[in-house]
Amino acid sequence: MEETMNAAISSVATLPKLPLSVRVHRETECADEPMSPIGRIMEDLDVYIVVVMGLGKPVNLPVFRAGIETELLARFPRFRSVQVMEFGKPRWVQTTVNVDDHIIVPRLDPAAVACGPEKAVEDYVSSLSMLPMDRGRPLWEFHFLDIPTSEATSTTVLRLHHSIGDGASLMTLLMASSLSTADPARLPAMPPPPKRTGPIYQRRPRPPLSSGEALLAWVWSYLVLAWNTLVDGVLLLATMLFLSDPHTLFKRADGGSSKSHRHMRFLHRSLSLDDVKLVKTAMNCTINDVLVGVTSAALSQYYFRKSGDINAKGICLRSFLLVNTRTVSSRQTYVTKVATGNKLSSLICPFHIALHDDPLEHVRKAKRLMLRKKSSLEVMFTQVVGEFLVKYFTVKIGSFLLRLFMTRTTIMLSNIVGPAEHITLCGHPVAFMATSVYGQPQALTVHYLNYDNTIKVILAVDDAQFPDCHQLLDDFVESMMLIKEATKFHTLKSIRFD
């Protein structure tokens, strides 16, 4: 592994130094845009997004390059902008971009590639977590690996700084810049919108005053909302001050206090969207509930096998769950206009490390938890507090508190909605997509991304913390299978009794 890694790193480190592409002219000042509070925090934390895309044919570099120039750069101003400090505050200033400066074709060791192409690609992508980006240019780059793997004919990796945008805005950019593979004359289709069309919490319409029972229920719902928000707000502040998860094998020894980048490994595996929907329908819950339950089951399976602590009654850990604060009713509009920037908030999502005879108990707990979170303004409270700290204090204080908050939780968890069908990006059909991040203090990050009829589970793990990370990934696949089989058993059992 080390030899392949060193070859991957050296292949990038020895690339020739190209002249800077940034030329900030006075006439571009009209296009200036202030950086959002969340973007400024991501800049200070130095967090990056990595998108691995398997392509359905060998890389045609001139065609892909032309697509980047005419689609991505034309649609997304952040891709042609640099960060400039003005009166102590960063701004986005558009500039001239030389696309060739952002295209990297590494030279990998042929022996390592022949020995294991999947591992060679994985090692190379992992090496990016230790390589800095040139701050004198727009902070994005494409890496092209013309290596056939079991899932794709070739691979491209998009790496960009999180201050440019979040996962949702990046996904809408990719969809807006691509075409349907089945019908190249149109944009890719989006998944059907969920029942909830607004933020995670929506105000309930007031019933007629003549309906006393309904009016009482309406008032009670607001009392529950106020109480839950108060409790969540207190827990949020307590987490920033002193409340921390217990040290387990999922947390770094230093608690993630070090600001230097650790070597992260990015792994991904496909789950069937139909299997997830089967559980969702049977349990009368959401896809998010199922995925949170799968995460809890997989981490429990890994923990008890690794620690041998079979007598444990259960451990309550917490995840830092990222939430897209944009409304979800106009996804296709976002694809057309391209959502920009970082519009994120977060909530604390507890999950239980426990052994259950019935695997569905993990989903039931997740369902109860998420119903409870939907009766709280925690997401809005977190967003307001973060923006207040940046606006009225300093970015350093805001990012310090956010990092402190993340170090006291165990994992980072996120779910991103992708295209409902296969897409063709820059003239290349995309076989799969896997999105993740690095630079966060947690040793483990779990992302889910649906693409066509699959859901990718993507892990970003500290290489030193999880030397058997592939076994952890296997636990996610096995846990999904166990939950699906338990769902079928309970469904048949209920039919038999009916």
pTM, full prediction: 0.88
Predicted local confidence at residue 5, as pLDDT: 44
Per annotation, catalytic residue among 161, 162, 362, 428: 162
Predicted local confidence at residue 87, as pLDDT: 72
Domains of the chain: 2-180 (3.30.559.10), 220-420+440-497 (3.30.559.30)
CA atoms lying within 13 Å on the CB side of residue 449:
26
How many Cβ atoms are within 10 Å of 419's Cβ, its own excluded?
Answer: 23
Q: Are 344 and 322 in contact (CB under 8 A)?
A: yes
Predicted local confidence at residue 27, as pLDDT: 37
Reduced 3-state DSSP string for 333-373: HHHHHCCCECCEEEEEEEEEECCCCCCHHHHHHHHHHHHHH
Inter-residue long-range contacts of 191-196, CB under 8 Å, 24+ positions, other chains counted = 191/331, 191/417, 191/420, 191/450, 192/420, 193/328, 193/329, 193/331, 194/286, 194/328, 196/328
Q: Are 73 and 86 in contact (CB under 8 A)?
A: no
Q: Are 472 and 263 in contact (CB under 8 A)?
A: no
243: helix, strand or coil: coil
Q: pLDDT (tens digit, 0 to 9) for every residue of the chain, 498 residues total?
A: 444 444 444 444 333 333 333 334 433 333 467 777 888 888 888 899 999 999 999 999 999 999 999 988 887 888 888 888 877 777 888 888 999 999 999 999 899 899 999 999 999 999 999 998 888 899 999 999 999 999 999 999 999 999 888 888 888 888 888 999 999 988 888 766 666 555 556 556 666 656 677 778 878 888 988 999 999 999 988 988 889 998 888 988 776 666 677 899 999 999 999 999 999 999 999 999 999 999 999 999 999 998 877 666 678 899 988 887 776 555 555 555 556 677 778 888 888 898 888 999 999 999 999 889 888 888 888 888 888 888 788 888 888 888 888 889 999 999 988 888 999 999 999 999 999 999 999 999 999 999 999 999 999 999 989 999 999 999 999 999 999 999 998 887 776 655
| 162: annotated active-site residue | yes
